[in-house]
Structures are given as structure tokens and as C-alpha cells.
Amino acid sequence: MKKLIIVFVLLFSQSNLTAQKSDNFIQYVNPLIGTQKMGHTFPGATVPFGAVQLSPDTDEQPYLINGKYNRETYRYCAGYQYDDKTIVGFSHTHFSGTGHSDLGDFLIMPTLGEMQLEPGDKNNPKTGFRSAFSHETEAVEPNYYRVKLEDDNILAEMTTSTRVGFHQYTFPASDKAHIIFDLMHGIYNYDDKNVWTFVRVENDHTIVGYRQTNGWARTRTVYFAMEFSKPFTNYGFKDFKPSLYKGFWRKFDQTKNFPEMAGEQIRAYFDFKTAKDEKIKVKFALSPVSTDGAMKNLQTEIPHWDFEKTKKEGQNAWSKELGKIAVTAEKKDDLVNFYTAMYHTFLSPTVYMDTDGNYKGLDQNVHSAKNFTNYTTFSLWDTYRALHPFLNIIQPKRNRDMINSMMAHYDQSVHQMLPVWSHYANENWCMIGYHSVSVIADAVVKGNVEGIDANKALDAAVKTVQTRYYDGLEFYMKLGYVPEDKNSSSVSKTLEYAYDDWCIAQMAKKLSRTEIYDEFTKRSENWKNVYDSRVGFTRPKSSNGKFAEKFDALKTEGQGYIEGNSWNYSLYVPHQPDKMIEMMGGKQKFAAHLDELFTMHLPDEYFAETEDITREGIIGGYVHGNEPSHHVAYLYNWADAPQKTQERVRMILKNQYRPTPDGLGGNDDCGQMSAWFLFSTLGFYPVAPGSDRYSLGSPAIKTAILKLENGKTLTIEANNQSDKNVYVQKVLINGKQIHRNYITHTEIINGGKITFLMSNKPNI
């Protein structure tokens, strides 16, 4: 832990502003949080929702070794693991917090001396172009990353604009300075993931090309344009998997100073001579469309070589976004947690179009985004819960653009489906449900629909959920549940479909589409079909209508669930808690049941199969590191035990979010874990997105001022709040006490003041 402390001293000691007074919220963001163990965040540079997320990769692991899944791969979902001692290089695309992965495109690495075109051994970095590094020399800020590459004593700095990565390397004096450009590198780089790569050296400082992969995204191409601040003296490449057929290209020596490179697995290099402390800068633009698009993005966004200017512009963008909530808190750590969480919620979805509005669609054609910004990276199974509801309040315009991006996806989908988990003009089908409909319903019900064709969106939702070949839907529509003998994770699917169906009903109600409302209100009760009142849990059911014989409510694998066991998943009826509680024996029994969940001991054998989380990611049997239980602590509100919601929420906030690299108990999941933190810290949570209600918890700040896009301001005050004073005595809206466990969306966006009077005793 010694090293850690040093890092934080480095990072924060420059600031002499007090936490309470400053509105320079960037200082509280620590992008290293979550980079150790299972957080799967990355520490590199990006602007809010940036297309380029430029970050060091500390290792690259093949997805398969001898045809078998390599468990090490999983640690590198975001490319960087805090415990590693070497950096392979800096690549331009990263997911934040995912539990499966892709990307890591276009690795850049500066080196000196003899050319090495292999990354080398992580335990002996001198064997390749990778380099030792230490956290002592790291600086990590929003839109700025700096590290000393120790092998060759090169200082690496990076910053970005939305579509352009800006590298700055300070070299020692050398006749043999190189910049390696690795197109083989990637995250989750299983065999043959690279389908094709293509590079053109346009002149002595400009390179363009693309990388096409078959990975989590099956048919994905990313185009680039790269400019060096100084002409290279020589360049070349190596083809690590030459085609059997060379054709008439044999007439050239393509390996050196030959301006066209192509192949499946190639790495290039560019040579320079450097004076002492000479900076070589690299601007690296991405495009979803073409190299022309990438070049235009480069020229439009960063037409200069002023690294500091770009850094500053990006940090100003962060200041603006983070400033949308001005928080005061007792301890600096609280601010670090809050603004780092806010930072993480603003990393994705990512912008996915050129500056001219062109983007590649799901149909692989080029489309033009009319009147919206096109986004990608939709980890919807995670993010429908809290991230999109959070954006619906704090980033309503962007949330609408995201919905329009999802609608464009629908228009381009040959399945006529809204996205499930989509990135880079691809549906990757990850996880379950059809939670696009929740995101859309949440916006429609809350009236955040300017520029969205809400009726068309409802039609798209209805069409989506009728895709018979999708994940057991044929049976779900026929039987009212997904039968376990026909489709795995059948209970999870049934429960989530039922909630999503309720979302469709809510949207239909808002739009006065009665038939749809009726149909989907009926479907929304399907969760009952997998509830076995004899055991008090949901459990898998066969297509013959009988529940499975074997059943273990603690077990996940092979039990009809995914990322959660029956103990956790059986509580997944966010849209109808009252009915669920009634079915489970009434409020009192239910509160006791929740208590048991939070206090039980989950034996190691069960924990081992709980994906994605550390041992710290669970509390009793409650698994916060995975998403299905994210609403559970709030369910006490329906069981006449709001004080328990308040206790549990504060316990989770304290245990699961710490301002350290290992501070996240599970994958941040594209901001969902962070969005939970933000809501809960502010004192309320959207248990059922698609409802206009937020369930009240226990605010963990002193004050928070929300600057809303409608020009209004909402102030949240938590009077007398402290680590001990977690209980809410009274809630006043604009000075008037309310006598309910929820607030409405209107009460938030109309602005004003919500006052929580806190105490160390429950208000029973």
C-alpha cells in the first residue's frame, strides 16, 4: 500500500483549494480508481464520451491458448492492470469497466536503440518494445496521462479531443529513436481476430489506414489518420502472418520505406533522430467511415501542434460536465469518489461519427446523422438501470441523442431490433433482455423526448420484442416464460423480459396506445410464472410447465440464472415490488428475507462462480459487483422499513466504492456501478426506470447543486449528515415536508430545493 499513498500525494498535493469551495472538480477525479482487480477501468486520456480513449495497455493476452479460454484475458478488459510493472504501449480505444472486451486499436510505443518489433516478456521488458514503468512517475487526470517509460527513459504524455489522440514523447538524444505502430495489438485478441489491416504512408509525416477485426464485434473496421510533428527518416514494417500468395508485390522490398502495407498481422515502425529532451508529437484521429473521414477529423479538431491547448480544452470540457453537480462533503475522499464516479459515467456511450456527421451503420453502409450526435458502446443490460436514468437528468440532450442512435441501429438492423449490446456498427448480443426499451421508456415517461419520434420508438420496441428467434422469445411469448429446457438462464430472461414489457406498457400509456398498453401490461406479469411459492424463490421451469427438480438458491451456474443466483434474482421485479412482496409473504417476512440476504455467508464454492467481482464485491449474499441486485437495497422502502434502505445503501456506498485503484468491488460496467453511486449518494434511486419515481435512500453529501439543462437548479441538502447520521428524519421539497418514500422526476427537473434532515437514529 506504500506505493499507493505516494501516488495520491503526487496527484492531489498540488491542489490548495479546499474541497468545499472549489468548483475545479477535475482535481477530485482519479482515473486510477478501478484499475486494480475487477474494476476494469482505464487510466488514460479522453474527453467526455470521446471516440478516442487513449490509454496505456500493460499487457496483451490472447483470448485462447491452445484453443482454450485464457482466464488471464479477462483481467485486461480495459488494457491496464494496476499491479503490472510494464507498459506495452498506448492504444486508442478502450471500454470502461466491461466484463468482456474488444478494441485496443492502434498501439503506439516509443523506443530507442535496436529495433524490436515484438512486445517481449512482461517479466523482462528489455526483450521487446514494452517498457518498465512505475506509478511514481504516473500522472493521471481527466484528459491527461503521463508516465516515464523507464527502459529508454522516454517521457510519454497524452491528451485527446473527441476523435483525436494527441501523444507527446520526450526523447533523450538518440540516432535511433523509433515509434512503433502495432496493428496486431488488441484487447481480447484471440487467434485471427484481425481480419485485415491496411496502411498508407502518405508523406514523411502522415499515415492513414484501417484495422478490421472479427471479435466481440463480428464485422468491425476502424479507420485512422496519424500525423507526426517531425518527419521520420526511415520507416518499415513486418508482416507476422504473410499471405501464401504474394502476387506481383514480390517485385518490391516492401519492408523498408515502401508506402503501402497490408496484411492480417503487421507492425510498423518509424525512425527519428532526436536531440536531448526533444518532443515528438503524434496526432492520431479515428473515423468509423474512412481514412478521409479520419483525416478531416484530425484537421478539424486539432489543426495545431499545441499539446497544452488540447489538454486544456479537454479539461475544460470535463470541468463543464463535472460542474453540472456541485457537491460539498465532509471529506475529500467523498469528493474523489463522487467526481470519479461522475467521470466514469461520462465515458460511454461514445461518440461514433465524423465531424461531418457521417458514420457507419449496422448495415455497414455509411449514414449521415441528421440532427443528432450518433453514439455507440451500448452496454444496455448494465446501463439501463442507473446510467441512462442519470443521463436523463444530468445529460438529457445526450440521452436523447443516444436514443436516436439506438433508433438508427433499429432502422439498420436486419433483425429489426433495437440494440442489445452494440458497439462500432455491430450488435454483439452480449447478456440478456431487451433493455433498450427501458432506456426509451424512461425518456418517454419522463418527457425527455424533444427530437425523438416517440411513437416510432414504441413501434420499434414492440417489433424488437417479437423477434421469435431471439433468446427464448418464441417460448416466452407462447408460454409466458422461457423454459429452461429450451434456453439457458431462463429465469433471468423471464424476469427481465417481464420488466422490459412493463416499460413498453408505460411508454404506450404515455402515448395513449391502449392496445399495446394492455398487451404488455399482461406480459409484464410473466415474472409470476417462474415464482415458486412453495420455496419462496423463482426457479427454472420446463416447457412442460413443471419446475426443475434440482434447485439451489445460492447457486448460479446451470440454475437458470446469469450473473446472479436465485437469492438475488428472485428480487428482480423492480416494476411491481408490492405484488412481489405480497407473493413472498408480506412486508414483514420480506424485510426479514432481505436482512438474511445482506447478512448471510455465501460459501466460497458459490462465490467462485459469481463472475466479475471480488470477494469485496459482495455483502452477505448480496452481490453489488453484478447488476441484477442494484435496486435491492431500496426494496425495504416497500416493506415499511425505509431505515433499512438507508442503512444498507450507506453500507454499500462505503464498502463498495473506495478512492483507491482497487476501490471498485466489480466491473464498473460502462458507468452503471458509478451511476448507482451517484444516485445513492444524492439520496435517491430509479428502482424501475420507466417510472417517473425515484426511491429515497440516504444522501451521503452535505449539499449538491444540480445545474439542469433546462436552466433550473436543484439543490439537495443533507442537514446533519455524517457517517453515523445516515437516517432520514424528514424530507422537505422547497420547504414542504413530504410523507412518502419517493420523489418524482418533475420534482427534480423543476429545480428548487430538497432538504433531508438526517439523524443517527432511524425514524421509526
Q: Which residues bind a second copy (CB under 8 A)?
A: 63-64, 67, 190-193, 195-196, 198, 200-202, 208, 210, 212, 214-216, 218-219, 243-245, 247-249, 251-253, 257-260, 262, 290-292, 363-366, 414-415, 421, 428-431, 469-471
How many residues can be counted in the chain? 764
Shortest Å distance, C-beta 368 to a second copy: 12
Shortest Å distance, C-beta 212 to a second copy: 7
Nearer CB in complex with a second copy: 86/221: 221
Residue 93: C-alpha distances to residues 48, 183, 299 (Å): 14, 13, 20
Give dist(CA 670, CA 351) in Å, integer.
Answer: 14
Nearer CB in complex with a second copy: 264/717: 264
Shortest Å distance, C-beta 363 to a second copy: 7
Shortest Å distance, C-beta 485 to a second copy: 16
Give dist(CA 128, CA 120) in Å, integer.
Answer: 4
Shortest Å distance, C-beta 244 to a second copy: 5
Beta-strand runs (E) in 135-190: 139-141, 144-149, 154-160, 164-171, 174-182
Nearer CB in complex with a second copy: 412/655: 412
Shortest Å distance, C-beta 243 to a second copy: 6
Shortest Å distance, C-beta 426 to a second copy: 10
Strand partners, 755: 717, 732
Q: Are 635 and 628 in contact (CB under 8 A)?
A: no
Helix (H) or strand (E) segment spanning residue 261? strand 260-263
Give dist(CA 142, CA 29) in Å, integer.
Answer: 7
Nearer CB in complex with a second copy: 1/414: 414
Residue 339: C-alpha distances to residues 33, 334, 728 (Å): 11, 9, 24
Shortest Å distance, C-beta 525 to a second copy: 25
Nearer CB in complex with a second copy: 18/66: 66
Contacts of 86 (CB under 8 A, 6+ apart): 58, 59, 122, 125, 130, 131, 132, 133
Residue 585: C-alpha distances to residues 533, 631, 634 (Å): 9, 20, 18
Largest CA distance in the chain: 86
Contacts of 402 (CB under 8 A, 6+ apart): 349, 375, 378, 388, 391, 439
Task: State residue 405 phi and psi, 5-degree precision.
Answer: -65, -40
Residue 62: C-alpha distances to residues 67, 74, 80, 538 (Å): 10, 10, 15, 38
Give dist(CA 262, CA 211) in Å, integer.
Answer: 10
Query: Which residue type occupies 311?
Result: K
Cell of residue 197, nine digits: 489491416
Nearer CB in complex with a second copy: 12/258: 258
Helix (H) or strand (E) segment spanning residue 685? strand 684-685
Shortest Å distance, C-beta 646 to a second copy: 38
- Number of CB atoms found within 10 A of residue 697's CB: 30
Shortest Å distance, C-beta 586 to a second copy: 38
Shortest Å distance, C-beta 462 to a second copy: 19
Contacts of 95 (CB under 8 A, 6+ apart): 40, 77, 78, 101, 102, 103, 187, 348, 377, 379, 423, 670
Shortest Å distance, C-beta 417 to a second copy: 11
Shortest Å distance, C-beta 484 to a second copy: 15
Shortest Å distance, C-beta 255 to a second copy: 12
Using CB atoms within 10 A of its CB, is residue 655 exposed (0-12), middle (13-18) or buried (19+)?
Answer: middle
Nearer CB in complex with a second copy: 102/301: 102
As a whole number of Å, the end-to-end CA separation of the chain is 42
* Coil/strand/helix, residue 703: strand
Instruction: Say whether the peptide bond before residue 349 is cis (omega within 30 degrees of 0).
Output: yes
Nearer CB in complex with a second copy: 15/61: 61
Nearer CB in complex with a second copy: 69/124: 69
Nearer CB in complex with a second copy: 31/560: 560
Nearer CB in complex with a second copy: 356/640: 356
Give dist(CA 594, CA 403) in Å, integer.
Answer: 35
Shortest Å distance, C-beta 494 to a second copy: 15
Give dist(CA 400, CA 385) in Å, integer.
Answer: 16
Nearer CB in complex with a second copy: 291/328: 291
How many Cα atoms occupy the beta-carbon half-sphere of 751 within 13 Å? 10
Q: In what order do the strands lie in the sheet with 684-685?
A: 684-685, 693-696, 742-744
Query: Which residue type occupies 268?
Result: A
Nearer CB in complex with a second copy: 241/589: 241
Nearer CB in complex with a second copy: 445/473: 473
Q: For residue 506, which of 495, 519, 493, 491 has the smallest C-alpha distance?
A: 519
Nearer CB in complex with a second copy: 214/542: 214
Shortest Å distance, C-beta 562 to a second copy: 11
Contacts of 171 (CB under 8 A, 6+ apart): 110, 112, 154, 177, 272, 274, 277, 278, 279, 280
Give dist(CA 278, CA 154) in Å, integer.
Answer: 10
Nearer CB in complex with a second copy: 214/521: 214
